[in-house]
Chains A and B, each alone.
Chain A
């Protein structure tokens, strides 16, 4: 494993790799949020939750 100066410890990822991982996590969270929003709308419409 060549000693890459961009690697940052303790994880050994480069900042670019960290941002890539993070972007996937952010996108996943957005998809989760959209699905949850749809679920809440359906529950609000079809149950006595909001009267």
Chain B
């Protein structure tokens, strides 16, 4: 069993939990994910690692309640436990494999959308710990749905917050902020890392391609085992089929076939099966259900 040391609601429907998982805390790198099962007959749900403490032997996960399994998970408290936490899975972020000199010369922009702020955080923190300041855009639908703003502020170079409805920070989608920064505010970036709903990543990539900024995205498709066995997470990148769980989750955003990826996410979203959909996706839900406007 994997004990929960801390559990809190970050905002409406988004929860953060610090969980004991010694092996994962020792081995994980920014960009990797875990698969959790809350109950003994529960689904396997992929969640990105938001933070880790190697001394304490804990990892932090963040999830949004969208279905049966995450609905069950939200009621877990400190002292409760997950049945299973497996990982770290996937490849570490590209950044962690670059030379420090190379990284120092780069101007890096992170774009985080919604609950995607959680997987962006450990990457920005990792850079900050190495003396590299990256710019970060956090986008949320509205002020109440914004998460990890303070934590991000502490590790980011410049932090730009934008809300779709203009209720906080800048107004509009993340793409508007990127465009404003580059076209109006004289910013230039060598690389962009975008993590959020699939539809957001698609439009960010469309824009950064136009702006000539190489862009990395982190995909979170439907998965079962997460170790390369089932092939459910296959995604077309360029002219190749890749498995997000072992080849990713990060890919060159300008080569990802987002339309196919979004279509594959609707697999269990039949009209009569919205409950199934919710159950299936956990916090990997990236829109397409007709309910969340994603």
A and B: interacting chains: no
B residues at A contact (CB < 8 Å): none
A residues at B contact (CB < 8 Å): none
